[in-house]
């Protein structure tokens, strides 16, 4: 038999055995046997009363039987739901299904691997590019020993090109190797619950190839930094600052401190004093909204020195 075929057969057998061990066991179900015996006894009594023509007794016994049956139904209904859920949870792909999925994955992705030590199945995607941003290839790594856990798979950037503002975000929807699958969560959960490897990996792959603006950890338009409000150049959040009034991002070369309060402001939230040219924030403007610093306002209302001297001389007698 072909070596590659044998490899995937052995891998499928190991995966199937691992899943069989990790599947939750069926919980024991306590049946209402005592109540069922009471129902049987009442049913026989109703039949006997009817045979002897004891209609009043048959009617009374029928009422009791109805109450018992309603109680039995109330107990059995949730048991049916519980048992159905357990059977559905245990219905996973068979050995042949897993083998076919592995072959399909090998044809679909550049790399497919099963690590016996870490008990993980992984595929490698082609380099992914979204809106002109090259994010590189990713490894989708599935932990088959914790299929019921919320952390059963990781998305690892193999040639990471993370967002400048957060190096843990390697994809708009991947933060710290965890994928925010959005609308694909249910489909991924269903594929994992039934052991459909091919469906799981292709759904995650399709999610990595999509971009949902407004729902990303970092928007692609800000991938290489945030545009400076004043000059438009890219500003790194660690090197720049923010306007204290409107919180607009400013690069290290933009933004001006108010000459009165000292707060950093963008161009929209400050104006130059017409007298001295210093910046004044909108909160510190003079009376009537005049963009004048406090020093110039004070100087404007000070009496001229010569007038002050003349007034002083007038106070002395001749």
Q: For 106-164, how does the pLDDT look when each residue is reduced to its tens digit (9 = 90+)?
A: 999 999 988 878 888 999 999 999 999 999 999 999 987 765 555 689 999 999 999 98
Classify 289 as helix, strand or coil. helix
pLDDT band at 296 (very low <50, low <70, confident <90, very high): confident
> How long, in residues, is the chain?
318
CA atoms 239, 245, 248, 254: torsion sign: negative
Residue 169 has a CB neighbour count (10 Å cut-off) of 20
Q: Which range among 60-64, 92-96, 276-280 shows the weakest confidence by mean pLDDT?
A: 92-96
Q: Where exactly does CATH 3.10.110 map onto the chain?
A: 95-208
Q: pLDDT > 90: what percent of the chain?
A: 36
The Cα 232–Cα 142 span in angstroms is 42
- What residues contact residue 123 under an 8 Å CB cut-off, 6+ apart? 105, 108, 109, 111, 112, 113, 139, 140, 201, 205
Residue 157 in tokens: 């950037």
- What residues contact residue 163 under an 8 Å CB cut-off, 6+ apart? 169, 217, 218, 222, 223, 224
Q: Are 285 and 273 in contact (CB under 8 A)?
A: no
The Cα 18–Cα 209 span in angstroms is 30
Statement: residue 83 has pLDDT above 50? yes
CATH code given to domain 95-208 = 3.10.110
């Amino acid at each position: 038999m072909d070596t590659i075929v044998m490899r995937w057969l052995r891998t499928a057998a190991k995966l199937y055995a691992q899943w069989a061990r990790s599947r939750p066991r069926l919980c024991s179900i306590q049946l209402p046997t005592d109540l069922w015996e009471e129902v049987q006894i009442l049913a026989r009594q109703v039949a006997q009363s009817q045979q002897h023509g004891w209609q009043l007794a048959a009617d009374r016994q029928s009422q009791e039987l109805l109450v018992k049956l309603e109680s039995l139904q109330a107990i059995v209904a949730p048991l049916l739901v519980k048992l159905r859920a357990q059977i559905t949870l245990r219905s996973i792909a068979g050995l042949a299904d897993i083998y076919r999925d592995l072959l399909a994955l090998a044809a679909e992705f550049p790399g497919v691997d099963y690590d016996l030590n870490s008990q993980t199945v992984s595929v490698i995607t082609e380099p992914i590019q979204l809106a002109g941003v090259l994010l590189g290839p990713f490894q989708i790594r599935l932990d088959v020993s914790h299929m019921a856990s919320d952390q059963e798979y990781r998305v690892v950037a193999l040639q990471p090109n993370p967002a400048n503002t957060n190096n843990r975000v390697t994809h708009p929807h991947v933060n710290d190797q965890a994928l925010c699958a959005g609308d694909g969560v249910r489909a991924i959960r269903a594929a994992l619950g039934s052991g459909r490897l091919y469906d799981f990996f292709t759904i995650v792959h399709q999610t990595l190839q999509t971009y949902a603006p407004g729902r990303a950890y970092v928007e692609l338009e800000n991938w290489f930094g945030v545009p400076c409000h004043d000059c438009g150049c890219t500003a790194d959040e660690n090197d720049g600052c923010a306007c204290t009034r409107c919180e607009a991002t400013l690069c290290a070369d933009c933004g001006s401190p108010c000459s009165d309060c000292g707060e950093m402001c963008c161009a929209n939230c400050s104006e130059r004093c017409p007298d001295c040219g210093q910046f004044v924030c909108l909160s510190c403007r003079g009376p009537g909204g005049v963009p004048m610093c406090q020093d110039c306002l004070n100087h404007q209302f000070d009496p001229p020195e010569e007038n002050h001297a003349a007034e002083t001389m007038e106070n002395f007698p001749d």
